[in-house]
């Protein structure tokens, strides 16, 4: 009983009692559950078998758009240039370096520090975490996840011999070195996969001898590590989804006890960098009222009263300040509002500012801050839904730009063949929902086209208008690819996020349905030829709209979907439950939050009604959305629905939240989704 309500969970048996072990050791899943999941996989595979030829064609197309020996532009760090590159036909990258200043007349010789294909050879899943050279560049701390659980093992490699010496298990994958290179800090996970304490490791010693530097006693808070751009301080970042605290670490002193910059104040968030004895702070602290779209201030080291801070960048309501970075001569920040993303640069000495915007009317821009503090170079990347990414280095002092890389599409790509639009759909309460559309110029706007409509809408995460080659396989087949920038994101500032959070979460679902109606009304899409697609919290959105008005859609794809929302948020032992209470509300202590979640939680609102064809995907080692959420949702859906379907369920038995880890294996996951979308929009659901 919860708040006087009896919650009956007839499929609760699908949750393994040893679920913590299953996340890290997928082979330990109880036999009865393993049989059930594998039977579901066989059923889905058999249903999708008629689409095998289409899936293979899609994979070949998508792979043809990838340059297989792709390399990232190098980043200078002291005497070295560090970069990643791929070998042809290989799934995982190489982490490499070469001298920044080769001997006169000589060619810089590459050193492969990490060979991804070799490290991944004996694993079904493999992903790198941190790859952090020591301050003297003689060692490399590197982390890897070999099962999709997001539990990383840190290794220390001697770069002269290529041999690994130290091994630290059950970490978040983050590393910061002490300045002398003899110790480093890392974050350890607890038994529920939460990052909860910071440890200091001295090279050559066993993990059991590591020293606890900081422990977070509140299970609702995340713990992370970072370093200031000038390498002067490390810092521990402790936060939930609406409050933060930062503790400074003196990287010169391995004995130092971390000191908080400010005490925790509920609802106040901040992040820091350091510049010549001042902390440069991005915060929503605004004095008498919160600066909910954030501002940037400066405060001398040691001062703890934010009211005494000097404002560097004032809040602009409706335009969210997303980040702040510092170079010796430059202050750099990014922002996002309805008119799109921007990168801002101010020279410390003169106050002169530069603003960089996407090069396309509807596009994306990103800035990468280098590894050095005394630099005038800012790396910028530009793309749009039709324009491949261009990466360049901009000299902030001279204005000179050097193009480093233009994303290559080996099979060919002509941006002029496509149309990109930004339209606004009227919502149920008078708001307007931004929608990004991509289609062929020859795809008619006459109400006949199929459409894939993607949505997320949570955690203040904005959907970028960037270049994704996979989408072209649908667009080339006459699809309109649409992104619904629903409430819960940041596309229209913090208020847009707040409007899809906690008691307002239902707005996210209404917004998505309003966008679907708008696309039909305006002729962009045919009635009941729209496929809805969402991942993770976007998968909750998919479950919600299926229950509310699934008949609008030809099909729904929900990947690693947060569909057992209420049961999960009622269980504080699960990995992300305590941190999520500020996002969704705490239904354990708050009856209003309980009733609000109970009203939209997809698993709790499955009804005796017609449901469209659905493809639901989970991951056995997923610590974010545990595998039993989609499993239970599908089981109850099949038992209660009165018509429609089919309902297909696939579990990645050796992967977690992000699916397959290899870059080509990921294409198989995408092709499954796209083949399903093509089939249901062509009236072939009866054959799958």
Count CA atoms closer than 13 A to 388's CA, side-chain side. 14
Question: Is residue 657 annotated as a catalytic residue, yes or no?
Answer: yes
Distance from C-alpha of 478 to C-alpha of 449, rounded to nearest angstrom: 6
Q: What tokens does 683 get?
A: 């009236």
Question: Is residue 393 annotated as a catalytic residue, yes or no?
Answer: no
Q: Which of 384, 622, 650, 661 is catalytic?
A: 622
Q: Which of 166, 241, 657, 661 is catalytic?
A: 657
Question: Which contiguous run of DSSP H or E holds residue 495?
Answer: helix 494-498
**Which residue's entry shows tokens 């042809």?**
88
CA-angle at 422, arms to 416 and 423, nearest 5°: 135
Count CB atoms within 10 A of the CB of residue 469: 17
In the beta sheet, which residues pair with residue 345? 332, 354
The answer to whether the beta carbons of residues 552 and 513 sit under 8 Å apart is: yes
Q: How far is CA 345 from CA 75, 144, 324, 354, 401, in A?
A: 20, 35, 10, 5, 15
Count CB atoms within 10 A of the CB of residue 105: 5
First to last CA, the chain: 40
The answer to whether the beta carbons of residues 318 and 328 sit under 8 Å apart is: no
Any idea what DSSP says for residue 609?
A: S
The answer to whether the beta carbons of residues 42 and 58 sit under 8 Å apart is: no
SS3 track for 365-423? EEEECCCCCCCCEEEEEEECCCCCCEEEEEECCCCCEEEEEECCCCCCCCHHHEEEEEE
Q: Which of 192, 335, 536, 601 is catalytic?
A: 536
Count CA atoms closer than 13 A to 95's CA, side-chain side. 20
Distance of CA 269 to the CA centre of its chain: 20
Question: Is residue 536 annotated as a catalytic residue, yes or no?
Answer: yes
Q: What tokens does 479 get?
A: 């699809």
- Helices 665-681, 52-64: crossing angle, 10 deg rounding: 130
Q: How far is CA 232 from CA 108, 268, 420, in A?
A: 30, 25, 45
DSSP conformation letters of 233-250:
EEEEEEE-SS-EEEEEEE
In the beta sheet, which residues pair with residue 476? none
Cβ contacts of residue 368 below 8 Å, gap of 6+?
75, 378, 379, 380, 381
Is beta strand 451-455 parallel, antiparallel or unpaired with respect to 480-484? parallel
Active-site residues, by number, are 536, 622, 657
């Amino acid at each position: 009983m919860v708040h006087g309500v009896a919650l009956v969970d007839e499929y609760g048996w699908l949750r393994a009692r040893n679920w913590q072990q299953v996340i890290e050791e997928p082979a330990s899943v109880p036999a009865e559950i393993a049989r059930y999941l594998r039977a579901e996989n066989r059923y889905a595979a058999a249903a999708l078998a008629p689409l095998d030829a289409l899936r293979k064609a899609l994979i070949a197309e998508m792979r043809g758009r990838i340059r297989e020996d792709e390399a990232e532009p190098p980043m200078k760090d002291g005497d070295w240039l560090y970069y990643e590159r791929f070998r042809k036909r290989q799934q995982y990258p190489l982490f490499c370096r070469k001298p920044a200043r080769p001997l006169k007349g000589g060619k810089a010789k590459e050193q492969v520090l990490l060979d991804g294909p070799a490290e991944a050879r004996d694993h079904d899943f493999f992903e790198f975490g941190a790859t952090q050279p020591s301050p003297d560049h003689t060692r490399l701390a590197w982390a890897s996840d070999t099962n999709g659980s997001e539990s990383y093992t840190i290794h220390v490699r001697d770069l002269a011999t290529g041999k690994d010496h130290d091994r630290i298990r059950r970490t978040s994958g983050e590393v910061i070195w002490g300045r002398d290179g003899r110790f480093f800090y890392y974050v350890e996970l607890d038994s529920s996969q939460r990052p909860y304490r910071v440890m200091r490791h001295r090279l050559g010693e066993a993990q059991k001898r590591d020293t606890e530097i900081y422990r977070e006693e509140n299970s609702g808070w995340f713990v992370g590590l970072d370093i200031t751009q000038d390498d002067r301080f490390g810092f521990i970042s402790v936060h939930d989804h609406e409050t933060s605290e930062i503790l400074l670490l003196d990287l010169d002193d391995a004995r130092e006890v971390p000191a908080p910059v400010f005490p925790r104040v509920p609802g106040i968030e901040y992040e820091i960098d350091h510049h010549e004895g001042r902390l440069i702070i991005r915060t929503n602290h605004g004095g008498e009222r919160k600066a909910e779209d954030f501002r940037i201030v400066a405060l001398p080291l040691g001062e703890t009263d934010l009211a005494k801070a000097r404002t560097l960048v004032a809040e602009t309501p409706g335009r969210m300040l997303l980040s702040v970075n510092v170079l010796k001569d430059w202050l750099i920040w990014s922002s996002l509002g309805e008119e799109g993303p921007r990168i801002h640069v101010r020279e410390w000495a003169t106050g002169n500012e530069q603003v960089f915007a996407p090069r396309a009317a509807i596009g994306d821009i990103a800035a990468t801050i280098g590894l050095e503090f005394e630099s005038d170079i800012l790396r910028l990347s530009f793309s749009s839904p039709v324009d491949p990414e261009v990466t360049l280095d901009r000299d902030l002092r001279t204005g000179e730009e050097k193009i480093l890389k233009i994303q290559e599409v080996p099979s060919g790509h002509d941006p002029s063949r496509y149309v990109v639009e930004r339209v606004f759909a009227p919502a149920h309460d008078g708001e307007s929902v931004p929608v990004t559309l991509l289609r062929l110029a020859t795809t008619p706007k006459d109400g006949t086209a199929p459409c894939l409509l993607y949505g997320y809408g949570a955690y203040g995460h904005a959907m970028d208008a960037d270049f994704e080659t996979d989408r072209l396989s649908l667009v080339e087949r006459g699809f309109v690819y649409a992104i619904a920038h629903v409430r819960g994101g940041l596309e229209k500032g913090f208020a847009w996020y707040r409007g899809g959070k906690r008691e307002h979460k239902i707005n996210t679902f209404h917004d998505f349905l309003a966008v679907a109606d708008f696309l039909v009304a305006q002729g962009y899409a045919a009635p009941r030829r729209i496929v809805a697609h969402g991942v993770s919290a976007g998968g909750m959105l998919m479950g919600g709209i299926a229950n509310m008005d699934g008949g609008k859609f030809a099909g729904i794809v929900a990947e690693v979907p947060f569909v057992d929302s209420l049961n999960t948020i009622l269980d504080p032992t699960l990995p992300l439950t305590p941190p999520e209470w500020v996002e969704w509300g705490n239904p354990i202590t708050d009856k209003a939050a309980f009733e609000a979640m109970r009203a939209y939680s997809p698993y709790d609102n499955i009804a005796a009604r017609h449901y469209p064809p659905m493809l639901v995907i989970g991951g056995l080692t997923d610590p974010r959305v545990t595998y039993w959420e989609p499993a239970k949702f599908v089981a109850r859906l099949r038992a209660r629905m009165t018509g429609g379907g089919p309902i297909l369920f696939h579990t990645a038995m050796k992967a977690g939240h992000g699916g397959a880890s290899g870059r080509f294996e990921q294409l198989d996951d995408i092709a499954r989704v796209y083949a399903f979308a093509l089939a249901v929009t062509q009236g072939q659901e009866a054959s799958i």
